[in-house]
């Protein structure tokens, strides 16, 4: 009897074993198996199309220990979830989390090591993660290699940047997977710190489009205590393999059981719009660790920042190229007369912010050390507490308070992270003393600890430590040059934004960002979280400042307005100089009106590297805002307003003028006003490299 | 006329150029030259004996840039000094600093880079350092190699340990220079973290004796912002070359002008005693940076420490091998019943300290994390603030205060230094809250930042940062597993002691320290500064605790007493368990009586690896104390008491009994009392591995 019972159990196992698991709407089909080498393989179909062919999973641990074959299945568990959760802030105010879950407990026959793989299949994609549970055979161990594969089913078009341990600041290349090669024809001279492992590595999120019109996006969710993932491309067989960011010894992660890896995510749809609308990555992250979130508020801000990029101001106070911050008598230095972060200038920015309803002012260059901060791999570079002689912390703090404007602290670390961490408590004491609410952090340069990378486990843990320290002190974080987001802002809602990409600033002093750049970013960088893209440049050509300058932002003015809707960020900058906004008050009105926190989001039209059209409803009112952007091609769109509520709205359309062109005539725009309702359709024209912003104010 | 004038100047230069510079007593003669390659060479004689033959100086900078040849002399400056300065604490209360100085300003003809070399010639040796002054051609740079040579004049006998980037914990080998080979016949299994660059590298201080009976000691002084120096031995040509501790990229030092290297020191004498008496290294260090030193006091201490080494106690509270300190509910763990650092046990130690006049109690294992702290290269290993459930910080603090006994905080970092630094401010808040006066720090394990070494520039800067933070908070430091001292305790008198060597503890669980070990250490490790050797073990054979144990301290009991005089440390431990001292109260009386701060020191007799006999006068009374130790040979000494003041002293002699032997009968001792005066001579017998301690109390 027992024999037959175990046979039944065995066959049941085998039956469960060989049954696929489906998404709630049944469109996605996940299958798995153990092959004859005992390797665990999975594959994925969408509406019967192959998305991922048979792909292996597993690890190599240190000292070359295989944990990828010779497995047996100990247990299979099925589960499902269907819930709705509220966001602290976001593109939407609530999110549905609906999936079927499959959890397989494996053990390796030879070693008795245990590994658990959990799959969650959503209607719009798949996420899976590994877990090393508490066990006898694994306590402290090192991951040398993660062997996760994504065997793609076609030579898809890919929108990619090189995998680089230290920088995300590349322009995107569009090519087929077989043609991915970061050594060919790229000009990466404007990226100072590059650590590219080879010419066939790409960064995630990786956006792809198949010849059949399927959209596939690969990324990760909940990156904690682990290095970031790149994808190594087998250009012949079209298999992508996980490549983790190493430390200086080639070790990827120093781990201790129990441990769960980040989720590897595959978002799939036959509609590009659904990729942008997907909440899969947020759903895979843990709920907020912060109990009281009342102090966390999205912010629209301005800053003493662009002025430095265009050469009007300097971060540094004096012009010296060799300074020791603790041995310098700052009062004795000769100021260069261009210092941006002066008390007086800051008060002017605070006045502007107060006048136009901006929440906060960022001040860069307020603290000593900028004279020779860059390019020396200098450890003792900033102290985060000593202001320059012309910056009065007390006066600035009181003035901001009197105008009900927040101050954004600036902590450029120069990638000297050991220095930052040892000074952190003192730096936070100062922040609290002078009433700052948030910090923009920066990691420009080569990382210290020397040998670590921006994307390695050590730095990932650093970013997390900063979030936790900030959360304890009720401070929000906007991190630049940090690892690209993976939805962790659900768990740490004080992580308002990150850069971790090639932002608007590149236009000021390099070949800049081509017009298609912003039509790609929502499909790539922003899949993991908001980006502080710093839009809103009105003075588009920089020869305004210096007649010799060849630089410009590759955009029309109307597109810069549209970006406030298209480039989602709860910490959103109106990046230009106040004086430029005052030259175009009618266009500026859109920036004044646009909110930074949303109740609803409709992705109206989108195609990677072509165009993006998004409508969003303000979280705090019934007003809607629309942003439409295009690449180097002009386009016409007809926008149905059926997302509106009943009743009338006053629509203000900020459009490219007919003669607008990102290069030839970028600052030419026109404004239309009309009363509309949900039954109306708006025809809009976008110039080359152009855009359109629409505010719909409920009447 | 101008031609002749410049000829005169030229020849004057050449005359100065070729003149040697002498020590004040003229015994030492330093010469220098630029050879035909423009390389700077120096050589040194002592009483006409060659000490250093023609030896080169210079550097290789990063990207393989030569800074060692093609020099010209821009300037030569002569100076001299004869001053006396008072010590905050020490072997003596005042020190004479008398030298002749020669400073040569060089510039490299091809590159116009500038280098200044300063020599100071004392009666007992030479120190020289490099300076990279402020200059156009050098601002930020990296040292790849320092090329300092010491071309020795003979195949001297050397007392050496391997050069190792991470450990000093070796037993010494005595051999000729030509035979130095760290791969031959050594058993280094008891040293866990080893980073030996090759078999012909030795650590400094390096002690040597020539066949003519000259004693030569090479070390460095004032190691700041630079890596530690080893000596690479050319076994054929007998030339030692500086080898600096690298970082993971093979870079030695990241520097910024102006910068001065540590002093390279050569102590020379025809009397071994003068090597031990030399104050050259202290004299080359900068005076105290701490203005108010009233809070800095040497300490005699006991501790909950040896009990763990002999297995009576454990550092850890529970027996688990996998713990995450921030996720553990410590109250729920099952205590192993052997935890040393309990409130009750600590109070017992405080009582003992109060009863016998010890200044302080060290408590190791008070804080969570010890369960799996070792061997995992674990970053988040200790938090330095959370006590175990059986250790009440408040109660312990109040109890110590009520008994006027100080507490010594324990910060074992497990070499996870990034973790220590980021937690430092919090750790110091706790120290101040609970009234601790000093910290014993430890760096057991592989350093994090991964890739750095205990002796590298980054860690040297860490040790300095700790001193500076501690000085600000009026805390003293006793650092274990840190870089070996270089006299910096003159500049930071709160650096009371360091281990940085193979201390007494090795006897508890390894083949231990041979009897000659302590007769070598004063000539090597202690040349740079005091050592927390932790003497005073009475229960010498460890089978007392565990009948199976084969371990013992390789000493007699009387030698353990003598070490309190011979092994100078202003933070001196009576290392054994209180209960063992209570078994031998008559012998223990010496430890109770012996002070830790001295007015005068007389090196009566000394020979490296054979014997050391030292007499010291208490700084705070007219009492004198003598310590005599021998190696594996028994010896007889006649000690003239002519160092005493006028009048009578009650002498108590703690001697090896006639049948004492370090291995066969180590705990056999006898005590003699007599009245003596300066005219008397004492005959003392030292057993094999034995010693003698004498207190001379002024009547």
- Identify the pLDDT of residue A191: 83
Catalytic site positions of A: 505
- Identify the pLDDT of residue A633: 98
Asked whether residue A474 falls in the same domain as residue A326, the answer is yes
- Identify the pLDDT of residue B8: 58
- Considering only CA atoms, which of B23, B494, B491 is closest in space to residue B283? B491
Which residues on B lie below 8 Å from A319 (Cβ)? none
- Identify the pLDDT of residue B594: 98
Is residue B525 in a domain? no
Q: Are strands A149-152 and A239-244 parallel, antiparallel or unpaired?
A: antiparallel
Give A112's Cβ-side CA count (13 Å radius). 5
- Identify the pLDDT of residue B158: 98
Give chain B's length.
Answer: 699
Q: How far is A276 from chain B (nearest CA, A)?
A: 37
Range B336-341 average pLDDT: 98
- Identify the pLDDT of residue B190: 79
For residue B10, pLDDT beyond 60? no
Q: Using CA atoms, how far apart are residues B266 and B125, in angstroms rounded to an integer?
A: 5
For residue B667, pLDDT beyond 90? yes
Nearest CA in chain B to A257: B322
Beta bridge partners of A206: A218
Distances (CA, A) of B633 to B67, B370, B515, B564: 50, 41, 9, 21
Is residue B528 in a domain? no
The residues, ordered by sequence, that sit 6+ positions from B505 with a Cβ below 8 Å of its Cβ are B306, B309, B534
Q: How far is B240 from chain A (nearest CA, A)?
A: 30
For residue B22, pLDDT beyond 90? yes
Asked whether residue B118 falls in the same domain as residue B262, the answer is yes
What pLDDT, in 10s, does the model give residues A71-125? 999 999 999 999 999 999 999 999 999 999 999 999 999 999 999 999 999 999 9
For residue A7, pLDDT beyond 90? no
Asked whether residue A319 falls in the same domain as residue A407, the answer is yes
Nearest CA in chain B to A376: B140
- Identify the pLDDT of residue A568: 98
Q: Are the Cβ atoms of A426 and B425 closer than 8 angstroms?
A: yes
- Considering only CA atoms, which of A302, A300, A299, A298 is closest in space to residue A582? A302
- Considering only CA atoms, which of B680, B599, B623 is closest in space to residue B95? B599
Asked whether residue A572 falls in the same domain as residue A458, the answer is no
Beta bridge partners of B407: B361
Which residue do the tokens 């630029």 mark?
B34
Which residues on B lie below 8 Å from A377 (Cβ)? 254
For residue A397, pLDDT beyond 60? yes
Asked whether residue A226 falls in the same domain as residue A117, the answer is yes
Which residues on B lie below 8 Å from A324 (Cβ)? 256
Number of CB atoms found within 10 A of residue A271's CB: 14
What pLDDT, in 10s, does the model give residues A520-551? 999 999 999 999 999 999 999 999 999 999 99
What pLDDT, in 10s, does the model give residues A649-685? 999 999 999 999 999 999 999 999 999 999 999 999 9
Is residue A509 in a domain? no
For residue B404, pLDDT beyond 90? yes
Is residue B563 in a domain? yes
Which residues on B lie below 8 Å from A322 (Cβ)? 134, 139-140, 256-257
Number of CB atoms found within 10 A of residue B475's CB: 21
B149 tagged catalytic: no
For residue A2, pLDDT beyond 90? no
Q: Are strands A406-412 and B157-160 parallel, antiparallel or unpaired?
A: unpaired
Is residue B168 in a domain? yes
Q: Are strands B624-630 and B438-442 parallel, antiparallel or unpaired?
A: unpaired
Range in A189-203, B102-116, B251-265, B275-289 the model is least confident about: A189-203
Asked whether residue A274 falls in the same domain as residue A378, the answer is no
Is residue A348 in a domain? yes
Last residue of a domain, one of A267, A283, A299: A283
Q: Are strands B229-234 and B239-244 parallel, antiparallel or unpaired?
A: antiparallel
Asked if residues B206 and B157 have their Cβ atoms less than 8 Å apart, the reply is no
Helix H, strand E, coil C: the string for A510-566 is CCCCCCCHHHHHHHCHHHCCCECCCCCCCCCEHHHCCCCCCCECCCCHHHHHHHHHH
Asked whether residue B342 falls in the same domain as residue B456, the answer is yes
- Identify the pLDDT of residue B192: 78
Range in A5-14, A153-162, B361-370 the model is least confident about: A5-14
- Identify the pLDDT of residue A337: 98
Q: State the complex-level ipTM.
A: 0.93
User: Nearest CB to A418: which of B324, B376, B449?
Assistant: B449
The CATH number for A588's domain is 3.20.20.70
Asked if residues A529 and A489 have their Cβ atoms less than 8 Å apart, the reply is yes
Asked whether residue B153 falls in the same domain as residue B190, the answer is yes
Helix H, strand E, coil C: the string for A327-367 is HCCHHHCCECCCECCCHHHHHHHHHHHHHHCCCEEEECCCE
Asked whether residue B256 falls in the same domain as residue B350, the answer is no
Q: Using CA atoms, how far apart are residues A355 and A359, in angstroms rounded to an integer?
A: 11
Which residues on A lie below 8 Å from B451 (Cβ)? 247-249, 449-451
Range B596-609 average pLDDT: 98
What pLDDT, in 10s, does the model give residues A187-222? 677 787 889 999 999 999 999 999 999 999 999 999
Residue A571 structural domain? 534-699
Asked whether residue A246 falls in the same domain as residue A326, the answer is no
Helix H, strand E, coil C: the string for A164-183 is CCCCCCCCCEEEEHHHCCCC
pLDDT band at B184 (very low <50, low <70, confident <90, very high): confident
Mean pLDDT (chain A, rounded): 96
Asked whether residue A562 falls in the same domain as residue A489, the answer is no
- Identify the pLDDT of residue B191: 83
- Identify the pLDDT of residue A188: 77
Nearest CA in chain A to B372: A140
Asked whether residue A193 falls in the same domain as residue A293, the answer is no
Is residue A473 in a domain? yes
Q: Write out the residues of chain A at the interface with chain B, using a CB-CB cutoff of 8 A.
A: 134, 139-140, 247-249, 254, 256-257, 321-322, 324, 372, 376-379, 418, 421-422, 424-426, 449-452, 458, 461, 465
Alpha helices in B158-220 (DSSP H): none
Which residues on B lie below 8 Å from A465 (Cβ)? 422
Beta bridge partners of A159: A174, A207
Q: Using CA atoms, how far apart are residues A220 and A218, in angstroms rounded to an integer?
A: 7
> Residue B335: phi, psi to the nearest 5?
-65, 145
Nearest CA in chain B to A135: B322
Cis peptide before B205 (omega within 30 of 0): yes
Give chain A's length.
Answer: 699
The CATH number for A246's domain is 2.70.98.10
SS3 A587: helix
Is residue B524 in a domain? no
Q: What is the DSSP string of B43-102?
A: EEEETTEEEEEEEE--EEETTTEEESSSEEEEEEEEEEEEEEEE-SSSSSSEEEEEEEEE
Q: How many domains does chain B have?
A: 3
What pLDDT, in 10s, does the model give residues B626-654? 999 999 999 999 999 999 999 999 999 99
User: Two tokens at B602?
Assistant: 């007389």
User: Nearest CB to B140: which of A376, A426, A458?
Assistant: A376
- Considering only CA atoms, which of A383, A518, A387, A498 is closest in space to residue A443? A498
Q: Are the Cβ atoms of B322 and A256 closer than 8 angstroms?
A: yes
DSSP assignment letter at A284: H
- Considering only CA atoms, which of B360, B222, B300 is closest in space to residue B588? B300
What pLDDT, in 10s, does the model give residues B497-550? 999 999 999 999 999 999 999 999 999 999 999 999 999 999 999 999 999 999
Last residue of a domain, one of B250, B283, B316: B283
Alpha helices in A357-474 (DSSP H): 393-402, 417-422, 424-433, 457-472
Mutation to test the A interface, candidates B136, B375, B425, most A Cβ within 10 Å? B425
Asked if residues B610 and B687 have their Cβ atoms less than 8 Å apart, the reply is no
Q: How many Å separate Cα A320 from the centre of its chain?
A: 35
Q: Using CA atoms, how far apart are residues B316 and B314, in angstroms rounded to an integer?
A: 5
Which pTM was predicted? 0.95
Q: Are the Cβ atoms of A451 and B249 closer than 8 angstroms?
A: yes
What pLDDT, in 10s, does the model give residues B60-110? 999 899 999 999 999 999 999 999 999 999 999 999 999 999 999 999 999
Mutation to test the A interface, candidates B114, B256, B456, B459, most A Cβ within 10 Å? B256
pLDDT band at B188 (very low <50, low <70, confident <90, very high): confident
Last residue of a domain, one of A259, A283, A307: A283
Mutation to test the B interface, candidates A320, A422, A456, most B Cβ within 10 Å? A422
């Amino acid at each position: 009897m027992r024999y037959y019972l175990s046979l039944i159990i065995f066959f049941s196992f085998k039956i469960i074993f060989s049954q696929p698991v489906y998404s709630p709407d049944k469109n996605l089909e996940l299958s798995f198996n153990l092959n004859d080498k005992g390797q665990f393989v999975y594959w994925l179909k969408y509406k019967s199309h192959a998305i991922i062919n048979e792909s292996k999973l597993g690890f190599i641990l240190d000292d070359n220990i295989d944990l990828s074959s010779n497995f047996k299945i100990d247990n299979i568990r099925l589960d499902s979830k269907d819930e709705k959760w509220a966001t602290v802030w976001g593109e939407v105010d609530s999110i549905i989390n609906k999936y079927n879950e499959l959890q397989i407990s494996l053990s390796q026959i030879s070693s008795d090591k245990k590994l658990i793989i959990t799959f969650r299949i959503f209607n719009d994609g798949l996420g899976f993660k590994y877990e090393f549970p508490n066990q006898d055979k694994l306590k402290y161990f090192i991951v040398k290699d993660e062997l996760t594969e994504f065997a793609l089913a076609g030579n898809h078009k890919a929108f990619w940047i090189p995998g680089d341990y230290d920088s995300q600041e590349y322009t995107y290349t569009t090519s087929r997977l077989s043609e991915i090669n970061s050594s060919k024809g790229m000009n990466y001279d404007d990226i100072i710190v590059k650590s590219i492992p080879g010419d066939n590595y790409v960064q995630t999120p990786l956006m792809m489009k198949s010849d059949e019109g399927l959209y596939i996006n690969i990324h990760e969710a909940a990156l904690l205590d682990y290095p970031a993932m790149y994808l190594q491309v087998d250009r012949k067989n079209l298999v992508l393999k996980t490549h983790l960011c190493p430390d200086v010894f080639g070790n990827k992660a120093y781990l201790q059981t129990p441990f769960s890896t980040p989720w590897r995510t595959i978002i799939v749809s036959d509609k590009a719009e659904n990729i942008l609308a997907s909440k899969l990555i947020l759903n895979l992250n843990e709920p907020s660790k912060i109990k009281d979130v009342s102090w966390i508020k999205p912010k629209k801000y301005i800053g003493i920042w662009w002025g430095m990029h265009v050469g009007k101001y300097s971060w540094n106070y004096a012009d010296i190229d060799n300074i020791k911050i603790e041995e310098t008598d700052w009062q004795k230095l000769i100021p260069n007369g261009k210092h941006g972060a002066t008390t007086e200038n800051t008060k002017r920015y605070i006045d502007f912010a107060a006048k136009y309803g901006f929440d906060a002012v960022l001040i860069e260059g307020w603290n000593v050390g900028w004279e020779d901060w860059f390019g020396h791999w200098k450890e003792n570079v900033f102290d985060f507490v000593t202001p320059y002689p012309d910056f009065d912390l007390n006066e600035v703090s009181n003035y901001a308070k009197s105008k009900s404007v927040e101050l954004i602290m600036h902590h450029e670390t120069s990638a000297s992270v050991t220095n930052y961490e040892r000074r952190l408590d003192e730096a936070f004491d100062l922040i609290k003393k002078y009433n700052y609410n948030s910090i923009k952090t920066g990691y420009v340069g080569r990382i210290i600890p020397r040998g670590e990378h921006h994307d390695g486990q050590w730095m990932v843990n650093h970013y997390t430590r900063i979030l936790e320290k900030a959360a304890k002190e009720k401070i929000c974080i906007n991190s630049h040059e940090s690892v690209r987001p993976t939805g962790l802002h659900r768990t740490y809602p004080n992580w308002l934004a990150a850069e971790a990409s090639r932002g608007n600033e590149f236009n000021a002093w390099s070949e800049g960002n081509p017009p298609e750049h912003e039509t790609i970013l929502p499909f790539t960088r922003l899949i993991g979280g908001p980006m502080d893209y710093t839009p809103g440049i009105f003075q588009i050509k920089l020869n305004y400042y210096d007649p010799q300058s060849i630089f410009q932002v590759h955009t029309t003015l109307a597109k810069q307005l549209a970006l406030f809707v298209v480039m989602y960020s709860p910490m959103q900058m109106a990046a230009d100089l106040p004086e430029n906004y005052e030259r175009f008050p009618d266009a500026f009105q859109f920036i004044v009106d646009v909110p930074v926190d949303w109740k609803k989001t409709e992705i109206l039209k989108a195609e990677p590297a072509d165009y993006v059209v998004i409508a969003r409803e303000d979280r705090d009112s019934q007003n809607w805002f629309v942003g439409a952007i295009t690449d180097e091609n002009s386009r016409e769109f007809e926008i149905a307003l059926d997302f509106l509520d009943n009743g009338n709205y006053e629509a203000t359309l900020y459009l490219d003028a007919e003669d607008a062109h990102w290069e030839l005539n970028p600052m030419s725009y026109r404004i239309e006003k009309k009363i509309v309702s949900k039954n109306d359709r708006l025809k809009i024209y976008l110039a080359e490299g152009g855009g359109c912003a629409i505010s719909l104010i409920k009447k």
